[in-house]
Structure 1
Amino acid sequence: MMATTRISRRTVLALLAGTGAATLVGCDPVRNTAPAVSLPDALLVELDDALGVLRGPDRLSIPRSVATADGSAIYATAPDGADTAFWRVDTATGHTSDRVRLPGRWLPQAVSANGALVALTSDAANAALGRPDGRDVTPVLVADVTGVRHQLELRGNFVPETFTGDQAGLFVLEWLPAAAPDRYRVRVVDLATKAPGPLTTRDKAAIPPGAEEEMRGDGRQAVLAPDRQTLYTLYTHQPGHQHTRDLVSGRPGNAHAFVHTLNLTERWAYCVDLPHPFGEASASGHAMAISPQGGRLFVSDVTSGTVAEISTEELTVRRTAIVAGGSGTGHAAADSESLFLGAGTVVRRMDLQQLRPAADWSVREPVTGLVLSPDGKRLYVGQTGAVSWHDPATGNELGRVAVPGLVAVRGLAGRG
């Protein structure tokens, strides 16, 4: 059984400790030359109130930042008088771009799929933190390493999510009602006109007034397709929810969980409903991973032990499987042959040909993330205060390094 674990955010940044550390906190790295355990691959991690990069023996800690989807760069900010200093960190080398000054105080929230543009807001609200405070106007700044590209004053309560493929639009979550939000819908802001509008349907038809989906549940996790053209977001706890296709047809809706598919190039959205019991248990027990080629998307609910495979071409659930259930926060990673699931102190490998369990093994501390190495020979397992790496076939631990303040392992770094 998978044991219970609870991940909490701390309010004070705990600087990465240990020998051989290089810590970057809004300034140039300071290095300690004492020996340290070296990771075989660079990892992007989440720390207490910061993003971090573990690269060889070096440790970078970067608060007030956001990473590109491929982990190749981190965009960081720091107060600069009444304004904001803004720069880019190359995660492969630790080198930084020249700092530019942005007028006013800003925090980075979303990066374009190609890693070139960043959307910043004046507060900490972002697409992963849930319901924002009420407000009637949302200032948004769009910038790159040269400075400000667009400045927006959106009438309403908006949170940036990602950019369109051509970088001419910004996808946002619009929270309704603006002053006391309890639901949200996905819209796209034309950066030339600065006006938000609806998406289109999967067949590229305009959505009639009143037929835009409004969601009340939890956005658990987002995964960008390998070709960077589609963003998949897992939503849970949606009782009585009606998709756009239901609102247009007049059919009743009752989806408790679904994968919101957002085409960044063609600007359409489509929801793939997940079967019962997805969405019935805690949102934190759900996890999602995509195959390296992008053709298969896997969703797991560790509470019920249910696993679903979605065809990203057909946008349908192709098959499901039931494995031993458990409790705790779910994590997932996949290669072309195996799906790895983690919760509590248990990691499970599933054979994708049969979609059935192939092996289970235990780790020392509750799992806080799963990441496969580029060559598939190592499975990195984030744990409480440490990262270990294992033989994916047997689960044998190949190495381990302490990472004080670790919240989650997010992915590979330096892969752009």
Structure 2
Amino acid sequence: MAARVETFVREVVIPYEKDSRRDHHGPTDELVMEMRGKAREAGVLTPHILADGSHLTQGETAIVLRKTGLSPLGPLACNTAAPDEGNMYLLGKVASPEQKSRFLEPLVRGEARSAFFMTEPAEEDGAGSDPSMMRTTCRLDGNHWVINGRKKFITGAQGAKVGIVMAKSDDGACMFLVELPDPAIRIARVLDTIDSSMPGGHAEIDLVDLRVPADQMLGASGEGFKYAQVRLSPARLSHCMRWHGVATRAHEIATDYANRRHAFGKPLVDHEGVGFMLADNLIELKQAELMIDWCAGVLDTGSLATVESSMAKAAVADALFRVADRCVQVMGGNGVSGDTIVEQAFREIRAFRVYDGPTEVHKWSLAKKIKRDWKAAQA
């Protein structure tokens, strides 16, 4: 499957990188659906989910998703992109049969996009990297839940058909499935951000008396944080998989440039400063691949792997950023232009160091574990 995906991305998707059907935030839905139609014909649409609804193992998923990432458009074309991939994983684990039929199946078929409404405005002390600060509320009114609050950096909300909304009841955090658009879910603005690969961009949202039928609650009231961990640990790793593919492609482009371009009497690659940068890329790409595969193996044991996914997210995001940065440097002026995807890879991977938990938050979490383990050892 990975070989078929790689062939499809290289032969069919990469030519779309010059397609004009995109805005500042990402490709248009017209472009996404056209590519998905071709992926469906090629048998590589939603390749991580099998015909019976079961998933590839995380280890197998890593092999496939790295290949979808060889183009920034690849995950969109193959339906392995965030936030849809993580949302499909969560619904597959937690949703009821009725909810799967109504909300999950259109996502798996690639007919709809989704959004995950968790993050809130930091300027209002809302939930960001600390979801316990959630201020969005939900209260039961008859057989409906009424939700009010604000969300921010909600990827793909504009144009999405399925939403997963997190809010806090008296029992604790809750998740709800909603059909989009809904007049009570109002897009205040779509932010201008450094990245440009996500259809719909990243929106700021007002939830004003949103009424959701009780049977559209995902799981049980108060269990939302538990479900969030079911989603977030694999989703962090999936990001690593996809961006590893993009960094690999950027390295391929920089390598080709360094071998073709001559300066001071010889190819750039023969200048130690350039050759060593490419060598460092090769080392860090392999280290990142091994880290991804190790964390995937832990997830495949049935563990939530929160510690392992934090280590992988922090290490891989920073390593891939260094790879992308070196690719820009090797290519000089061409590296900061839009003539290749190297410039976009740099921007996208820089953003990756922030979303799904900034590197520093993951390191802080790991430091707390080190302290806990030390105290336990002393006892």
Instruction: Tell me the TM-score normalized by structure 2.
Output: 0.24
Relative to total residues, which structure has the larger strand share, 1 or 2?
Answer: 1
Relative to total residues, which structure has the larger helix share, 1 or 2?
Answer: 2
Instruction: Tell me the TM-score normalized by structure 1.
Output: 0.23
